[in-house]
Structure 1
Amino acid sequence: MVKERISAADIAGLNFETTLGAVPYTGYPLFSSPDAFAFSLRDAGFDIFFQANNHALDRGRKGLERTIDQLDSMGIKHTGTFRTEAARSLYYPLMVIKNGIRIAFLNYTYDTNGLPVKEPNKVNVTDTNLIIQDIRHTQLYKPDIIVAQMHWGEEYRTTPSFEQQELADLLLSHGIRIIIGHHPHVVQPIVTEKKEDEIQRVVYYSLGNFISNQQRLHTGGGMLAEIVISKKDAVSPVVIEKCDYLLVWVQKRMNNGKVHFSLVPSWEADKQPMGEEDKQKMDKFVEDMESILQQEL
């Protein structure tokens, strides 16, 4: 059911917070996932993988380059990490044209967990001067709208930090209209700016988790950002018609001595096989998320 929602989107993107670094496959703190993981995400309907995050270098240069190569071989669009500066110059920003709308995607991370980016590789690490330069370069492509995917903030904090808000203000003031954040592993508020009841700009400070096995409070799920944009004709500006969210929760069940993970959509939870205890857990999660999203900043 989550797959149906994702596949129905004209464009679906995700924060790909792992590497395809080949065997041995590893989890935290240095991730390397099977190639099948990326195949499954693609088959679920995701079109774009955003790779600028703090785990991009978990398998070093070989892991970064193999991830790029595998995504290319699967026909998956991606951005945020690059083999060389020349590749970055050629492929950044990521431009996507859909239904006559030219969309530019930018992607940055606050850090790479202290692991150095070794030449000739490039990872988009947050630097305000670089970001402003990139935005100006992006505007030369005449995009109808620019979307920034930001790996930022403090882990497990349900309100955006001062630094997040300051950086969001900078991005918005330089022409970004949609910001989607991740890294805190918990949901943070959505802020929309309207003029005469029309949405001008929006910031999803943090989507929380999608699929994870984290145990901390509020990490048992997250949200999908559902944004609708339109354009009347070739010369009209893009209109942000809707900025919505869909909550998902990770159900964990034991089967034959193994833990099985299921992503449960809150909007169709009644269709999922679920015991009373799990139902109560999910209801509590949804209640908490709604409370977090109602916060005034």
Structure 2
Amino acid sequence: MKKFFVLLIIVSLILGGIYLEFNNLFEYKEASGGLEEEINDKDIDIFEPHKEPSTKTISILGVGDIMFHMPQIASAKLDDRTYDFNPPFKYVKKYIEEADISMANFETVTAGNAGGFSGFPRFNSPTETVYALKETGFDILSTANNHCLDGGKNGIISTIENIEDNGLKNIGTYKDDNKVLLIEEVGEIKIGFLSYTLGTNGLDSLLTSDELEYMVDRVDDEKKIKKDIDTLKDAQVDLILAYIHWGTEYQNQSNSYQEKLGKKMVEWGVNIILGSHPHVVQRSEIIQHDGKDNYIIYSMGNFYSNQRYETIGNPYTEDSVMVKFIIEKNLDNNDTIIRDVVYMPTWIYRYVEDNQIKYSILPIGPSGAVPIEFSAELPDKIIERIKKSYADTMNTLNESELN
């Protein structure tokens, strides 16, 4: 009899548990609008909750022509042997430093002082020029331009070595035939860099034909340009940027050759083209290709030079623009885009201090605003020139918004 009652109690407990579980399940079904509906609702994934795409963002900053005419070299001289070229870059340094990659067109050579330093027509600058650019925050210098052969073969080699000795990298000229295209990876974004020049001021004969072929990248060799682009694409870079030394000097309008070549290069795979050589600011434009926005600025003007209204009668040679790109990569699908383009116009201020010519590259804000150190000291006529420079630069640039 005892065994019967024990068995009866156990069965009762089991049946009671089943009832409670069923009752709880029924109540949950009623409260949630139906158990089957909850499970079969495809809009809700309880195993893989929704997450935002993972992205990486970096910035790239480019500036135009950097030249060192003799008045600039004289203004930087400390004694018979040393120079300090840092002061002219004081007020733009923070913008250049804060970008992940900053670039410029180095339109001179550093071939040594055996024959003396010189400005136009054949440049040769002190090695301290490159040191100052490193201290300012630049990372890459484009050396393919019409002055790259001003010091002959030795000038190309010594300039590249000076750039490397200062911890910078160059694009567009090479010491030997072992050409390796520059690829930099920042924040999981791989960028390929190219540079080409329209010519070398008739100094081709300073190199043999073979040396000219491998030491200087030129725009007239479109097969080589396309091959270089394909090489970078094969390396699976996320973005291709090219400095192109082209156009007509002192002309505010881009010419048909620039526009045709620029569009070809975008179709071949280049995403950003930064123009130099005209020494004045020329327009920019957005070109869509393969569903993406690509960018060309035909000329960024003179970032640092002695060309100005007082010296050559052209006020536009005092104007320039720093162009900053915000690059974004979606790590989930490896899609990389130009998310934004930011312009910062600049103006080269030449003045006399302690009976010596001095230079400062001034960043210009809206309405001609300049660094506070200068705002209360500049003569009215200089303030008007700065305001005009800002207006001219911003009116020239095509400020189309990226899609």
Q: TM-score, normalised by structure 2?
A: 0.69
Deviation, structure 1 residue 238 = 0.5
**Pick aligned residue for 1:109 from 186, 191, 197:** 197
Describe the SS at the equivalent of 2:335.
coil
**Pick aligned residue for 2:359 from 254, 258, 261:** 261
**CA displacement 1:176-195 (0-9 Å, x = unmatched):** 11111010000011101359
Deviating beyond 6 angstroms after TM superposition, the runs of 4 or more aligned structure 1 residues are: none
CA RMSD, 1 decimal: 1.8
**Pick aligned residue for 1:292 from 374, 380, 396:** 396
Please state if 1:13 is matched with 2:103.
yes
Describe the SS at the equivalent of 1:108.
strand
Q: Would you tell me which structure has more helix in proportion to its own residues?
A: 2
Describe how 1:123-142 pairs up with structure 2 within 5 A. Answer: 123-126=216-219, 127-142=221-236
**Pick aligned residue for 1:64 from 156, 161, 164:** 156
Structure 1, unaligned runs of 5 or more = none
Deviation, structure 1 residue 172 = 0.7
Describe the SS at the equivalent of 2:384.
helix
2-structure distance, mates of 1:232, 1:134: 25
Please state if 1:49 is matched with 2:138.
no
Paired letter, 2:301: G
**Pick aligned residue for 2:382 from 269, 278, 289:** 278
- 2:320–2:345 contact (8 Å) kept in structure 1: yes
Q: What's 1:223 paired with?
A: 321
- 2:284–2:399 contact (8 Å) kept in structure 1: no
Q: Would you tell me which structure has more strand in proportion to its own residues?
A: 1
**Pick aligned residue for 1:99 from 187, 206, 231:** 187
Please state if 1:118 is matched with 2:207.
yes
Paired letter, 1:10: D
Please state if 1:200 is matched with 2:293.
yes
Change over 3 Å in CA distance of 1:46–1:295 after alignment to 2: closer
Describe how 1:220-259 pairs up with structure 2 within 5 A. Answer: 220-233=318-331, 235-259=333-357
- 2:276–2:301 contact (8 Å) kept in structure 1: yes
- 1:250–1:264 contact (8 Å) kept in structure 2: yes
Describe how 1:75-86 pairs up with structure 2 within 5 A. Answer: 75-86=167-178
Deviation, structure 1 residue 133 = 1.4
- 1:52–1:80 contact (8 Å) kept in structure 2: yes
Paired letter, 2:203: L
1-structure distance, mates of 2:192, 2:128: 28
2-structure distance, mates of 1:136, 1:107: 15
Q: Which has the bigger relative contact order, CA under 8 A and spacing at least 6?
A: 2
Paired letter, 1:80: G
**Pick aligned residue for 2:278 from 168, 181, 184:** 184
Deviation, structure 1 residue 293 = 1.9
Structure 2, unaligned runs of 5 or more = 1-90, 309-313
Paired letter, 1:149: Y
Greater Rg, structure 1 or structure 2?
2
Deviation, structure 1 residue 132 = 1.0
Q: What's 1:149 paired with?
A: 243
- The answer to which of 43-52 and 264-273 deviates more is 264-273
1-structure distance, mates of 2:292, 2:285: 10
2-structure distance, mates of 1:46, 1:294: 26
Give the % identical residues.
31
Please state if 1:164 is matched with 2:267.
no
Deviation, structure 1 residue 275 = 2.0
**CA displacement 1:50-109 (0-9 Å, x = unmatched):** 1000000101111111111111111111111111112x1xx22x1000000000001000
2-structure distance, mates of 1:207, 1:36: 24
Deviation, structure 1 residue 234 = 5.8
2-structure distance, mates of 1:128, 1:159: 23
Deviation, structure 1 residue 270 = 5.1
Change over 3 Å in CA distance of 1:255–1:172 after alignment to 2: same
Change over 3 Å in CA distance of 1:237–1:38 after alignment to 2: same
- 2:362–2:371 contact (8 Å) kept in structure 1: no
- 1:264–1:272 contact (8 Å) kept in structure 2: no
**CA displacement 1:236-282 (0-9 Å, x = unmatched):** 21121111211000111112332111111102505142221211111
Q: What's 2:74 paired with?
A: none
**CA displacement 1:122-156 (0-9 Å, x = unmatched):** 10011111111111122111100111110000001
Q: What's 1:38 paired with?
A: 130
Paired letter, 2:395: S
Change over 3 Å in CA distance of 1:56–1:278 after alignment to 2: same
Describe the SS at the equivalent of 1:210.
strand
Describe the SS at the equivalent of 2:227.
helix
- 1:212–1:221 contact (8 Å) kept in structure 2: no
- The answer to which of 52-61 and 227-236 deviates more is 227-236
